[in-house]
Amino acid sequence: MKKLEIETQIEKASTLPSAFYKIRPSFEKSQEYIFARTWQYVADASVVNKPMDTYPFTFLKNVLDEPLVFTKDKENQMHCLSNVCTHRGKIVVEEAKKQRMLSCMYHGRCFRLDGSFKSMPEFDKVEGFPSPKDDLTKIPFKEWAGMLFVALEPTVDFDAVFGPMQERLSWLPLDKLTFHEPSSQDYMVNANWALYCDNYLEGFHIPFVHPALNEALAFEEYDYELFDYGNLQLGVAKEGEPCFDIPPSSPDYGKNIYAYYYWIFPNLMFNFYPWGLSLNVVQPLAYDKTLVRFRTYLYEGKNIEDWSVNQLHQTEMEDEAVVESVQFGIQSRYYKSGRFSPTMEKGVHHFHRLVAQFMNTE
């Protein structure tokens, strides 16, 4: 596959080539070069709430398909482990339940809840056994704001990626977010995952695609901020629209912020509103198919109003229509790549440079 090159200066740069979005080899390479190396949302921390809880899951199902398991040991310490027995490769934990130890039901190999080897029948005469390779592999994970994130082979430390967002919003009660299932929904989008991100990363299209949202936002004050592995779009509210009550300690004090739209490379979108958080997990399924998971969290004492749910859904429908149209359009033999608006597409340019950086790293 040809090396991706995105010019550093946005004024001179062109977008990712259309081939990146429409051919299987690009998608297959991105699985290991991007998604195995970055932090992914997995579940809420409540899935392993008490000692001896276990929670098996498949990391990026249909893409990487890595069997993992969260455990909480008797000392209340959480672990993320490979869920594949080190004897013959069977899945160890088949369902979420309390367990004093992890037992493989194929030949009886047992592991402690921290993944260390415990016992194995009929192995007394095996030389050099057990060894560290008989333990279940420990997988990097991080708990933040009541959510669990995992990276198989992280290129960058979690705090280096999420730090700018954590610091900017330290005044919000993120430790008291509560999941609100009725207003959470999954959407199937017939387009490449990166096209969905492209669309999210610029407010350029708002006046043309989102009439209701455009009525709420002061478009002339819409702003962008970039950091190493993500960016922020600041949506400023028009007079009379809902906005945050921002404390003097915040750099945004005095602004009528309608929403903080944070994107974390490659596919996580944290949309903070006065009522809570809408987390969008952009999960690739194929080169032309994406599952977008909207998960809604409320601040303590806040209720989500009907206008919020309806507007989020309507905005999503409008975004999907545009992105699917682009997925069809880039199949054209006459389209190869485009140029960036230096004022409105900084986030897209930043994203494309990160994609190239990861895809070009051997």
Please indicate, yes or no, whether residues 122 and 227 belong to a single structural domain of this protein.
no
- Give alpha helix (H) positions in the chain: 19-22, 24-33, 158-168, 193-200, 206-209, 211-216, 306-329, 346-359
Please indicate, yes or no, whether residues 138 and 163 belong to a single structural domain of this protein.
no
Please indicate, yes or no, whether residues 296 and 166 belong to a single structural domain of this protein.
yes
Beta bridge partners of 233: 224, 261
CATH of the domain at 214: 3.90.380.10
- Residue from 329, 331, 275 nearest 303 by CA: 275
> Would you say residue 187 lies in a domain?
yes
In order along its 362 residues, the chain shows pLDDT tens digits of 679 999 999 999 999 999 999 999 999 999 999 999 999 999 999 999 999 999 999 999 989 999 999 999 999 999 999 999 999 999 999 999 999 999 999 999 999 999 999 999 999 999 999 999 999 999 999 999 999 999 999 999 999 999 999 999 999 999 999 999 988 999 999 999 999 999 999 988 888 888 888 788 888 889 999 999 999 999 999 998 889 999 999 999 999 999 999 999 999 999 999 999 999 999 999 999 999 999 999 998 887 764 566 678 888 899 999 999 999 999 999 999 999 999 999 999 999 999 999 999 87
CATH of the domain at 86: 2.102.10.10
> Would you say residue 71 lies in a domain?
yes
- Cis (ω within 30 of 0) for the bond into 130? yes
> Would you say residue 299 lies in a domain?
yes
Strand 257-264 with 230-236, pairing: antiparallel
> Would you say residue 109 lies in a domain?
yes
> Would you say residue 22 lies in a domain?
no
Please indicate, yes or no, whether residues 324 and 184 belong to a single structural domain of this protein.
yes
For the chain, how far is it from start to end, CA to CA, in angstroms? Answer: 12
> Would you say residue 33 lies in a domain?
no
> Would you say residue 164 lies in a domain?
yes
> Would you say residue 31 lies in a domain?
no
Please indicate, yes or no, whether residues 137 and 180 belong to a single structural domain of this protein.
no
Q: Which residue has the tokens 């962008």?
A: 224
d(CA 1, CA 360): 10
Range of the domain at 301: 159-359
Instruction: Choose the final residue of a domain: 119, 144, 169.
Output: 144
Domain count, the chain: 2
Phi, psi of 168 (to 5 degrees): -65, -35
**pLDDT score, position 304:** 75
**pLDDT score, position 242:** 87
Mind listing the pLDDT tens digit for each residue in 295-319? Answer: 999 998 887 764 566 678 888 899 9
